[in-house]
Amino acid sequence: IMDRITNKHLEAMTNRLNELVGAELEKWNKETGKSNAGTYYVQGAYGGYRLERIANDGGGASDISLRGTKREIYEQIRTAVTVLEFQNRRREY
């Protein structure tokens, strides 16, 4: 039996993705009142979820993944994180 994927799981995996690509962890910059372009986050609506990336400081976003369940989106983000970590390790050699 697999553990249930929660919002905290999605947030932790998305934070790791943002760290690996050098993006801010928070969607909004509280000092400037603008969004942090380049930041990835999970959007939930209509019973589904998807990975999105902030495209500009006004908050416009691009869809990165198709809509799916929490588990499907978690696994997609985990795959991206694994690939980025592998690439980073290769650069160290």
pLDDT for res 53: 98
pLDDT at 90: 80
Q: What is the pLDDT along the chain (93 residues), one digit of tens a residue?
A: 678 999 999 999 999 999 999 999 999 999 999 999 999 999 999 999 999 999 999 999 999 999 999 999 999 999 999 999 999 888 765
User: Can you give the pLDDT at residue 89?
Assistant: 86
Give the 3-state secondary structure of residue 65: coil
Q: What does DSSP assign to residue 56?
A: S
The radius of gyration computed from the CA coordinates of the chain, to the nearest angstrom, equals 14
Helix (H, G, I), strand (E, B) or coil at 58: coil
